[in-house]
């Protein structure tokens, strides 16, 4: 039995035959596209929830319509919107980790199926990009300096968004809830605060573990298909 320290090595060992790798490569690329589209949808939902909370907390809304459902007590929706934001932010980072793993595995299988394409760095044009995770092009490629600046800019924005904006929204949201809610309704606010705190803590732990468990591969040389 052969063990490996990272997905690249394990994939390279499993797919030494280029013919057997073609179909798997297509399935990985399809999964990358689905995951990238899912991340974009989750970011839209996250933004809409944050805007909806601001509108509900600052305006006098008597009825909230969600599809065919109408709620005459918008306070219940306002109270648990921060929980929805916390769940969505965790799901976004979870899907980003999945996209990263798929993208790395795609590059490894590509080195087996089409080593010339992988060696020249053309594989980056096949994988769909995701927000806050720009593709890092190798030095010397066309517009490499532009993409390098974009890569670091998006990385900084993602860090600020994950570590400052989202926790800041949670603190602001519950400050507004505790300030505006009558004392008889604070029980639900405390429940929402507890759920949001658990999800936010899990979000930070997931980020820390993903950075801590990122280990270098045993071999950085390209995988060459067996003759």
pLDDT at 88 over 70: yes
- Selected residue with higher pLDDT from 83 and 58: 83
What is the Cα–Cα distance from 154 to 143, expressed in whole angstroms? 17
Helix (H/G/I), strand (E/B), else coil: 217: coil
The percentage of residues in the chain with a pLDDT greater than 70, rounded to a whole number, is 71
pLDDT digits (tens, 9 = 90+) for 138-148: 666 667 777 78
pLDDT of res. 44:
93
Entry field: residues in the chain: 227
Distances (CA, A) of 111 to 11, 60, 116, 117, 125: 10, 59, 8, 8, 15
pLDDT at 137 over 70: no
Helix (H/G/I), strand (E/B), else coil: 70: strand
Q: Residues 6 or more apart from 196 whose CB is under 8 A from it?
A: 82, 83, 85, 86, 170, 174
Q: DSSP label at 135?
A: -
pTM of the model: 0.75
Spatial CA neighbour of 21 closest among 125, 103, 119, 108: 108
pLDDT digits (tens, 9 = 90+) for 27-50: 888 998 999 999 999 999 999 999
Name which of 76-90, 126-140, 146-160, 166-180 the model is least confident about.
Answer: 126-140
């Amino acid at each position: 039995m052969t063990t490996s320290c990272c997905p690249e090595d394990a994939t390279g060992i499993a797919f030494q035959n280029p013919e057997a790798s073609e179909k798997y490569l297509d399935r990985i690329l399809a999964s990358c596209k689905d995951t990238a589209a899912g991340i974009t949808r989750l970011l839209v939902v996250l933004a809409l929830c944050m805007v909806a909370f601001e509108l509900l907390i600052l305006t006098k809304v008597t009825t909230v319509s969600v599809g065919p459902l109408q709620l005459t007590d918008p306070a219940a929706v306002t109270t648990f919107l921060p929980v929805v934001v916390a769940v969505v932010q965790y799901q976004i980072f979870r899907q980003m980790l999945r996209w990263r793993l798929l993208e790395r595995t795609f590059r490894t299988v590509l080195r087996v199926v089409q080593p010339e394409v992988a060696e020249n760095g053309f594989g980056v044009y096949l994988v769909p990009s995701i927000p806050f995770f720009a593709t890092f092009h190798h030095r010397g490629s066309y517009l490499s300096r532009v993409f390098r600046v974009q890569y670091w800019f998006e990385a900084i924005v993602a860090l600020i968004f994950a570590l400052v904006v989202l926790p800041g929204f949670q603190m602001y949201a519950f400050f507004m809830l505790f300030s505006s809610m009558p004392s008889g309704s604070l029980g639900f606010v405390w429940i929402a605060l507890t759920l949001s705190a658990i999800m936010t803590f899990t979000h930070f732990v997931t980020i820390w573990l993903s950075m801590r468990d990122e280990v270098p591969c045993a071999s950085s040389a390209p995988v060459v298909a067996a003759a």
